[in-house]
Amino acid sequence: MTNTGKEEERIQHFLEMLSSTEWDLRYRAAQELGRLGDPKALNLLIQALQDADWRVRQKAAWALGNIGDPRAIQPLRRLMTDPSDGVQDMIRQALDMIRRKMYS
């Protein structure tokens, strides 16, 4: 198997983990998808912004910022009123990360 095939398997694994019933697995999935930076994760990470656990929402925002796809801007902006200050801070950082990638 090529490295590309292995990476595709990893991405698929973490995409599936985003629907786990365990918050810590969803958190780890968002973290790894953000590190991998693959735009295929965009839609599921946007959905993760609505997760019941603030830690998962925060990590999903970070991951979206790391991926840098401008399609995440509106969903991130809609979450600016999140009850968690940590999530709000991460959303601001994610929006800055996306803007930097757009204009670099």
Q: Within 1-104, where are the H helices?
A: 3-17, 23-36, 42-48, 54-67, 73-78, 85-102
| CATH top class, domain 3-102 | mainly alpha
pLDDT of residue 96: 98
Provide Rg for the chain, Cα atoms.
Answer: 13
- The string of DSSP letters for 26-40 reads HHHHHHHHHHHT-GG
CA distance 93 to 15: 23
pLDDT of residue 1: 43
Nearest Cα to Cα of residue 58 among 25, 20, 92: 92
Q: Which two tokens stand for residue 97?
A: 């990360």
Q: What is the pLDDT of residues 9-67, one digit of tens each?
A: 999 999 999 999 999 999 999 999 999 999 999 999 999 999 999 999 999 999 999 99
